[in-house]
Amino acid sequence: MRVETREFSLQLESPLDTAHGSIEHRKGILVRVEDGDEVGIGEATPLPGWTESLPACRAALADIEAPGDELSNLEERLTTLESTPAARHGLSLALADIRAKRDGVPLYRHLGGPEQVEVIPANATVGDCSPAETVDAVVDAVSAGFECVKVKVGVRSVTDDVARLRTIRDAVGSDIELRVDVNGGWSRAQAREAFHKLDPLRIAYVEQPVSGDDLDGLADLRGRSVRVAADESIAETSVDAVLDADAADVLICKPMVLGGPDKVVEVADRARDIGVTPVVTTTIDGVVARTAAIHAAAASPDRPASGLATGAMLARDLGPDRTRLVDGSVSVPQDAGNGVADTWGRR
């Protein structure tokens, strides 16, 4: 058995502007586990603010060796990576890829998916930009078949962002689901003002309206027609803290943040048990992790529109994307394992 790692850097097609700042590239580490004739590929793509840093991820993976000749021995090492979720994601995905291949099933069935799933509805994502540019981007997404669009806000004033969203709603009508992502950019007072003004615009939910450590602020916003989604709060506190505080109607489940697709399934089950809706999204990852996120969403018994249509945001990728995005839905690979080609030889 052998474990190898290789670093990569992926440029975005254009910067994604958020309340946290601009994301221009994604740097990470590919993890390759070779066990006899079988190979599993994982991806660790840290995103500071959500996961550990790249140096911390690199150090965590550097300590991983293949102990003995049993895959289970390496799987036991996952417990040592709980504090570095991106590193855990990379190794756990590589191991799950091998396990699913051995069982001859697609990854989502290995993760416990109860039935065959061909496609997952996806949401389009539109960054912060001028009202005219925002409307054009949303209209283009709807024309491409998306029935759900997430719009980044929080950089501008509440008044300006509400005006942007009102223009969008007027342009696309009432049937399109609109989600709003603040990335923690509002104060409590701004959030209350925004929720009041957003009520007539039929916004499905507002993602992380206040800072990630303000669970009381999130909880205080619940009970309105606009639902509250927790994202950064999961990274800054924990899933347990968010759920125990009754701080969310929706839980944003990022595999890279939670530590792997297996963790997503576990967390999603816990959320559904208490009436919280899990929504799987990526952190603008490469094709290896992005495809695994599709499998994680497919393993769920209920599949709301998920943030899986992010491949086009990258100027180049780690390898070919075997999934298809058609009419706002992404196809689920049916080959054994993750369904991603061995990308080891690409840079």
From 64-78, 96-110, 225-239, the region with the lowest mean pLDDT: 64-78
67 pLDDT tier (thresholds 50, 70, 90): low
Q: Would you state the pLDDT for residue 20? A: 60
**Does position 19 have pLDDT exceeding 60, yes or no?**
no
CA-to-CA distance for 104 and 42, rounded, in angstroms? 18
| Catalytic-role residue among 101, 152, 197, 263 | 152
Average pLDDT value for the chain: 93
Average pLDDT over residues 78-89: 96
Average pLDDT over residues 10-26: 77
> Which residue, among 282, 281, 298, has the nearest Cα to 338 in the 3D structure?
298
Check the annotation: does 97 bind a ligand.
no
What whole-number percentage of the chain has pLDDT above 70? 96
First vs last C-alpha separation in the chain: 24
How does pLDDT run across 93-142, given as a tens digit for each residue? Answer: 999 999 999 999 999 999 999 899 999 999 999 988 899 999 999 999 99
346 pLDDT tier (thresholds 50, 70, 90): low
- Which helix (H) or strand (E) covers residue 15, if one does? strand 2-18
Report the alpha-carbon angle 64-66-71, nearest 5: 115
CA-to-CA distance for 289 and 96, rounded, in angstroms? 12
**Sign of torsion over alpha carbons 74, 77, 79, 84:** negative
Check the annotation: does 181 bind a ligand.
yes
User: Any residues with CB less than 8 A from the CB of 189 and at least 6 apart, and which?
Assistant: none
CATH fourth-level superfamily of 2-110: Enolase-like, N-terminal domain (3.30.390.10)
Q: Does 19 or 122 have the greater pLDDT score? A: 122
25 pLDDT tier (thresholds 50, 70, 90): confident
Domain boundaries, given as residue ranges, for the chain: 2-110, 119-331
Q: Would you state the pLDDT for residue 69? A: 65
* Assigned token pair, 262: 């297996």
Q: Does 107 or 345 have the greater pLDDT score? A: 107
> Which residue, among 295, 294, 288, has the nearest Cα to 319 in the 3D structure?
288
Please indicate whether residue 27 is annotated as part of the active site.
Answer: no
**Does position 146 have pLDDT exceeding 80, yes or no?**
yes
Please indicate whether residue 254 is annotated as part of the active site.
Answer: yes
How does pLDDT run across 265-306, given as a tens digit for each residue? Answer: 999 999 999 999 999 999 889 999 999 999 999 999 989 999
Check the annotation: does 177 bind a ligand.
no
Average pLDDT over residues 174-187: 96
Contact 42, 94 (CB under 8 A): yes
Hey, what long-range contacts does 163-172 have (CB within 8 A, 24 or more apart)? 163/131, 164/131, 164/134, 164/135, 165/198, 165/201, 165/203, 166/201, 167/131, 167/134, 167/135, 168/134, 168/135, 168/138, 169/201, 169/202, 171/135, 171/138, 171/139, 172/138, 172/139, 172/142
pTM of the model: 0.93
| Catalytic-role residue among 101, 150, 197, 254 | 254
Query: Which CATH class name applies to 119-331?
Result: alpha beta
* Assigned token pair, 195: 């929720």
From 11-15, 51-55, 229-233, the region with the lowest mean pLDDT: 11-15
